[in-house]
Structure formats: structure tokens, C-alpha cells
Amino acid sequence: MLVLRALVGGALRLGIAPAELAGRADIAPAWLAPEFLTDPDARVPDFIVRRLWEYLPQVSGEESFGMWLAEQVEGAPLSIAWWVVLSSPTLGEGLARAVRYQRLLHDAARSELVVTSGEVAYRHQIGARSFRPPRHAIEFGFASTVQLARRATGRPLLPHRVALQHAAPADLGRHRAMFGPGLAFECDVDEIVFDREILGLPLVSADAGLREVVESHAQNLLARLPQAASASARVQSALCELMGSNTIAIEDVARKLGMPKRTLQRKLREEGMSFSTLFDRVRRDLAERYLSDRRLSVQETAFLLGFSDVSAFHRAFARWTGETPAKFKVRRQGLAS
């Protein structure tokens, strides 16, 4: 919900009201209605947020929309999950609590802290390992993490390094200002790495009494959440794992998820989603990710996505993006050069 509010706020700064945004992005108006956006316990389906991450960068004129959005919402009201962080005694304990309560922010989040002798890495993953959110969403999330660390400690912290899997944009001004010089693109993992000493930094808003109250509330919220992720999220994860087969049908996914085909279809309908739409979305996301990788050819990408031949992949990619895979690959690599 916090990200949805940020996206709606960004749209307002672009002069797009929620009702207009819903129409342009093909979203039911109820998802962007004031009563929904202000409901502290509301949960938003992943496909709604993804649709906005896909639409708003196109109309914003901002090549690094996620970085721009993080700047726009800096200092905005925080969710209960972030108050658990801010009330902690040290940044290390706060980050550990952020991982513990990550599901309050996203049902399919799988963040982790990796601590070594000299560094601490924060890695944020949504869904299956082979599935990756839009690059703007990842950059927004990492920028928001840095902003929160600065807000919590009262210090102008910079990461030791930031690794991102996607290609670099032409203008890195916002990235350098937020992340410093240790910035790398086309990496094997998305992560922010700090010097280990930041874990012991005291937080300016540390408050044992407040922490007890907000953590109790967070535990209650966590206990009330449904145990299973949304059907669309589970389908996307299953598709990522099955990708590479020559044919993937809904029966294959239903079998992998351990439910009847008709039950899966009903659950997807309830979320306003269809299997074919999800299949196309996963294939497109993976195609763009693979084509952004200098190590993979167009032919290898087609094979990894289970296309029977390269020409079929060309036709599908042109339908998704309006350009050929080769042109897309050159453009992405041109941005990174």
C-alpha cells in the first residue's frame, strides 16, 4: 500500500488525478479511490502496482522514474513496518526487523541481510529468483532504503556499493547523488552493500516504549494476513520455474501449485487476472531482462523462454514492445555504454 500511495502521489505531481490515472492505466477506479488509499489495513494486488510501474515511467518523461519518485516522496508518512525500524536502538536491529516484517510491505517479498566480516548487504527480491520487478521499482526501493537509513541515523550515509542487474541509464546524476560512486549495472544480483560499522549506529528516533507498541501492532497485523500469497503471484513464480519448456499450459501450472485447473482460473478471475496475461507478462519481463544481458544472444533468449523458433520470439516481442529483440538489445546496451 505504501508503494501504491507513492505512485499515486507521483502521478499527482505529473498532473494526473487518481480517477484519470485509473482510466489511463486500465485499472478499476476502486483501487485508487481515497477510501482505499487511506485504509491502513488494505492490501493491493501485485498486478495493480506493476501496471503503474509500467505506465507512469512512460508518461513521466523521467528516464530514471524510480529515483525521481523516491525524491518526491522523501519525508512522507511511514507505515507501521518502517516505524518498527525507526524506533529500534541501532540501524542493524532496525534492518533486521525490516526483514522480519517485510510481508507487511509485500506478500511476495524475500529480503535478506547478508553480514560478512567487513560488510552488510541488503538484498530485496520479489517473487521467484528468476522473476524480477521493473527496474524503476527496484531503484525506488533501494533509494528509499538509503533515505530511511539517513532519516533514522541523522547521517548522510552512502552505500559502499550498489549492484543492479539492469543496464545503466544515460544520465546517472540521480543515482550518483543517492548511491555515491560505488555503483555498478548489469550485475548478477540486486543489492545495497554498506560497511559493517553502520549496523551499530544509534537511531535518532530510538524509543523502547514506542518500539514495544508498534512491534505489538505489527505482530497483530502479520497474524491477520492470509497465509498464502495471491494466486497471480504464485502463478508467476511457477511460470518462472517452468519457463524453458516448449509448451506451458495452465494445467501444468495448476499441477505444480497442487490445485484443480478450474480453481486456479476462478482465483485468477477474482483478482482480475487471466493465465494468458500472466504468461505474457512473465515472458516479456524475462525477455527484457535476458536481452539486457550482454552475455545472452537473441537466439539464446528465445530458447530460454521456450519459443519453438526465433521467428516466433520476434513476433511475440514485437507485439509486446513494438520493436525487434535485436533493436531492443542494442538500445539497452547503448544506454549502458
Tell me which residue of 216, 185, 207 sits closest to 94, measured CA to CA: 207
Distance CA 217, CA 220 (A): 5
The torsion angles phi and psi of 109, rounded to 5 degrees, stand at: -70, 140
Q: Is the pTM of this model over 0.85?
A: no
Residue 334: pLDDT band by 50, 70, 90 thresholds?
A: low
% residues pLDDT > 90 (the chain): 28
Q: How far is CA 18 from the centre of its chain?
A: 21
% residues pLDDT > 70 (the chain): 86
Q: Cβ distance 143 to 66 under 8 Å?
A: yes
Average pLDDT over residues 187-204: 90
CA angle at residue 22 from 16 to 24, to 5 degrees? Answer: 70
pLDDT exceeds cutoff 50 at 36: yes
β-strand partners of 120:
115, 194
Residue 117 is predicted with a pLDDT of 86
Helix, strand, coil percentages for the chain (3-state, nearest 5) = 60, 5, 35
Which has the higher per-residue pLDDT, 212 or 176?
176
191 Rama sector, left if φ>0, alpha if ψ -120 to 50, beta otherwise:
beta
CATH superfamily of 231-336: Homeodomain-like (1.10.10.60)
Which of 40-44, 51-55, 75-79, 158-162 has the largest mean confidence?
158-162
Q: Cβ distance 270 to 208 under 8 Å?
A: no
Residue 201 is predicted with a pLDDT of 94
Tell me which residue of 314, 335, 310 sits closest to 324, measured CA to CA: 314
Residue 74 DSSP symbol: T
Average pLDDT over residues 247-269: 89
Residue 337 is predicted with a pLDDT of 40
Domain boundaries, the chain: 1-61, 63-68+77-224, 231-336
- 263-295 burial code (b ≥16 CB/10 A, e <16): ebeebbeebebebeebbebbbbbbbbbbbbbee
pLDDT exceeds cutoff 60 at 128: no
Which of 78-82, 249-253, 261-265 has the weakest average pLDDT? Answer: 78-82
Distance CA 161, CA 177 (A): 13
Cell of 337: 555504454
Distance CA 89, CA 96 (A): 12
pLDDT exceeds cutoff 90 at 202: yes
- Cell 503503474 locates to 52
Distance CA 72, CA 227 (A): 34
pLDDT, tens digit, 9 for 90 and up, residues 270-306: 888 899 988 888 888 888 878 877 777 888 888 888 8
Residues 6 or more apart whose Cβ sits within 8 Å of residue 38: none
Residue 336 is predicted with a pLDDT of 44
Distance CA 253, CA 181 (A): 43
